[in-house]
Amino acid sequence: MTAPLRRRLPFGIRSTLPAALIALATALTAAPAHADPCVDIAKQLAGQIDGLKVNFSAANITYLTHPAAKELSLGCRGKDYSIELYAKTDRKMKPEFFNLVGSATALIFTVPKDDAVTGTSRCLKRMGILRGNTITMRYRRLNLECTRNRTDASITVRRGNNE
């Protein structure tokens, strides 16, 4: 006798296979588009820090505004870093600026707020006649770079790609 050329699937598999394929197709077509993680972090910051607003995003940088800072931005995925916070203010810094940068650093990099405020204020306060106008330091696995000129002072807080 000759064997059948086509094998029949059992009844249970025959009935569930099309349903599974349809469910898979609808799941793949109905998947929402993923937002930029920088924008998500910026929205979290705006929700948790008073006076902080999200302006716009361009080229992996999300620009923010706050009354205590002249410039404020959040950068994601550069060549040497995974995430970066940049803040700029007048040369004579106010306590509100220290609090803003410390709070934002704590929320972005998930470090305790006291440690973030200590590290950022230590970097900003080290600039002067004895140490110069550019300070680079490392604190709690964060790279801090503080610079100043005649009118402005700025801080860049970043965490490397390999950390």
* pTM of this structure: 0.73
* Cα dihedral across residues 142, 58, 148, 70: positive or negative: negative
Hey, what amino acid is at 136? T
Tens of pLDDT, residues 114-155: 999 999 889 888 888 888 889 899 988 889 999 999 999 999
Question: How high is the pLDDT of residue 83?
Answer: 86
Task: Region of 87 please: left (phi>0), alpha (psi -120 to 50) or beta.
Answer: beta
Q: Which of 1-5, 60-64, 66-70, 145-149 has the lowest mean pLDDT?
A: 1-5
Distance CA 114, CA 121 (A): 11
Tens of pLDDT, residues 11-51: 555 567 667 767 666 666 654 555 567 778 888 888 898 98
Q: Which residue has the tokens 């598999």?
A: 13
